[in-house]
Structure 1
């Protein structure tokens, strides 16, 4: 029968043979891709920590080499500490001066209180003398002028007591001001000491120093990137999968990974997470959906990042951040969602909660 079809049908119509072969290959491709997902649009990724100075100055020394392995706390570079040491000495002197002024203010309070005590004693004597003169002014032993003088002296004594009391209050307020000045000076000293400590840039994590361009003698400002450290944690593969597969990829699913840095070995991994969205060029944060007109005849599928854990592979093999990789996984067409996804609560969706939406705050 097959020989008959070959001789009678395909032998007389070679074009039909080509069409049938193409159709067969297409059907075979569709059958394979329905159960197998493969992409070479994947790469190795690690946690990269950028190191930037918290103070500005001129780089005095670079203590590491490119691609050197470091541990957390190792010295990477040092900014010239001399201006910061001078600032610490100046702040220390300011603290000592503020403390001396505070002690002087304490002494002034004591002096003012002694003056108040003396004025109060003179006031008591003057009041007693005025009372005695007032008691005998009618007997003819003292004159009215003597009583007037006694009244005037008592008024002067009262005013002296009031002035001495005000001086005590002012001295107490001066103490508070001087004590606040001490705290300000101490804070400035702490800041100067902190700035001095930040002239030493140390590795925040274990890892390898990436290639850098900074050199000793360069002037660097706060926040300028100095170098980066490729950490020893967080190694993963990010595979950009076609959108026809993302709905059926499940977290925890086994995948097969080929690394460009280790091309003759197939490694196994597990799906860590599947991205729920990607940015589109026409995305605008408006209230109405935007539908753009695409004049292209060929529409390529969108790709969604899928993160893949590598298990203990980072402990067994040297990995390189940014290296290419290929990923293959088997698809279960019966799956319709990437893992279990719980529905959003009203608070997560950005809407009011039932309690806040109901009158009086009750559901």
Structure 2
């Protein structure tokens, strides 16, 4: 029974268990080799980025894009041509108008008075022309009358000379008296004076004809001047009614009834929305393959829509060339700056959404150039100046 009793492990020093050496720990596993795939991925990304950059820089692109583009139009500033007080404004801001529609009117009474005065001046001077014409028409009979007087005086003078010779012969032979001879000589002298007077009157009548003709021409010139003044007065009267120059929308109205305005004062503007176009400012390096007639995609930021357009023309100069203060590069402090040229793009017809465009909208334009060889075309062109 004693042999079957459980044997207990003794943890005390000097026991048989402590005399047996412990097993050594297993060696650590060898380190895993570093993974290579992150470096491969990073290298591929760098190579791909460099390739994309080189393609963007070196490979020509058939489509050129810019967001420096705006909707613009040649609008009309409505201003009076004469001064006056505004007595009527027939339109309001943002109102659609048609060509010839009355926009505003000025007080016409001053202009009506000027027309009446000009008409009276024309009537007065026309009567003077009629009087001058009558005097000119009356002068030829007066000249004929003077000619008849000259002929009569010549006849009397011839008779008196013959009579004087007869009395002179009679006096020399003693058949006549000295008194009779003296009377005959006196009569001859009187008739000679009458003839000279008649000839002078004839010459004066002929000269008077020239004077009357000059007076007639002067009167006719005065009438022409009066008619011109009358036409100007009528024009001024018509300018009192201010009309729209073309179809469009009214904007920037600044006039009110009762304002006194002078010539050139801005009353409002009329914007022809059916004639808007795009002014896209492209870098000069992007215009290598751009020419007129190419298709353009226009993205309108305001409505997030795309419209079709056509390149109308490339301008003759950059925007800096027309700046009020032109850049001066003659000082030696020069920095080369790539210029931008405002390319004119017109909208393709038959686009209902184009009616949404307003002047000043920002747009993005993409010109589909097709990599056309503009340089070679110009080399073979007979035109002195490029038109594309």
Is the TM-score greater than 0.5?
A: yes
Q: Judging changes above 3 Å, is the alpha-carbon distance between structure 1 residues 30 and 237 closer, same or farther for their aligned structure 2 residues?
A: farther
Are 1:175 and 2:216 matched, yes or no? yes
Whether the 8 Å CA contact 1:126–1:154 is kept in 2: the answer is: yes
1:91-128 deviation line (CA, Å, top 9, x unaligned): 00000110111122223334444433333222221111
Cα distance, 1:189 vs structure 2: 0.7
Q: Judging changes above 3 Å, is the alpha-carbon distance between structure 1 residues 232 and 31 closer, same or farther for their aligned structure 2 residues?
A: same
Cα distance, 1:28 vs structure 2: 2.5
Q: Judging changes above 3 Å, is the alpha-carbon distance between structure 1 residues 309 and 110 closer, same or farther for their aligned structure 2 residues?
A: closer
Corresponding residue of 2:363: 325
Corresponding residue of 1:147: 188
Corresponding residue of 1:337: 374
Whether the 8 Å CA contact 1:251–1:339 is kept in 2: the answer is: no
Corresponding residue of 1:304: 341
Corresponding residue of 2:125: 98
Cα distance, 1:244 vs structure 2: 2.5
1:34-72 deviation line (CA, Å, top 9, x unaligned): 535332211112331222222222222111111111111
Which moved further from structure 2: 157-166 or 190-199? 157-166
Whether the 8 Å CA contact 2:76–2:269 is kept in 1: the answer is: yes
**1:78-93 alignment to 2 at 5 Å?**
78-93=105-120
SS at match of 2:356: coil
Corresponding residue of 2:31: none
Whether the 8 Å CA contact 2:273–2:358 is kept in 1: the answer is: no
Which residue, out of 253, 269, 278, partners 2:294? Answer: 253
Q: Judging changes above 3 Å, is the alpha-carbon distance between structure 1 residues 4 and 248 closer, same or farther for their aligned structure 2 residues?
A: farther
Alpha-carbon distance in 2 for matches of 1:105, 1:206: 52
For structure 1, list consecutive stretches of 5 or more residues without a partner in the other structure.
Answer: 12-16, 350-363
Q: For this pair of structures, how many residues does the alignment match?
A: 329
Cα distance, 1:192 vs structure 2: 0.9
Scaled by the length of structure 2, what TM-score is found? 0.75
Whether the 8 Å CA contact 1:249–1:338 is kept in 2: the answer is: no
Alpha-carbon distance in 2 for matches of 1:292, 1:80: 60
Corresponding residue of 1:59: 86
Corresponding residue of 2:306: 266
Structure exhibiting the larger radius of gyration computed from Cα positions: 2
Cα distance, 1:5 vs structure 2: 3.6
Corresponding residue of 2:136: 109
Whether the 8 Å CA contact 1:253–1:271 is kept in 2: the answer is: yes
Scaled by the length of structure 1, what TM-score is found? 0.79
1:200-228 deviation line (CA, Å, top 9, x unaligned): 11111111111211222223222333222
**1:18-167 alignment to 2 at 5 Å?**
24-25=48-49, 27-29=51-53, 31-32=55-56, 34-35=60-61, 36-140=63-167, 143-167=184-208
Corresponding residue of 1:238: 279
1:314-340 deviation line (CA, Å, top 9, x unaligned): 5443221111111234565x5443794
Which moved further from structure 2: 335-344 or 66-75? 335-344
Whether the 8 Å CA contact 1:282–1:292 is kept in 2: the answer is: no
For structure 2, list consecutive stretches of 5 or more residues without a partner in the other structure.
Answer: 1-33, 168-179
Alpha-carbon distance in 2 for matches of 1:66, 1:134: 100
Q: Judging changes above 3 Å, is the alpha-carbon distance between structure 1 residues 326 and 254 closer, same or farther for their aligned structure 2 residues?
A: same
> What's the RMSD between the two structures over aligned residues?
3.0
Corresponding residue of 1:355: none
SS at match of 2:65: strand
Cα distance, 1:166 vs structure 2: 2.1
Corresponding residue of 1:356: none
Are 1:6 and 2:6 matched, yes or no? no
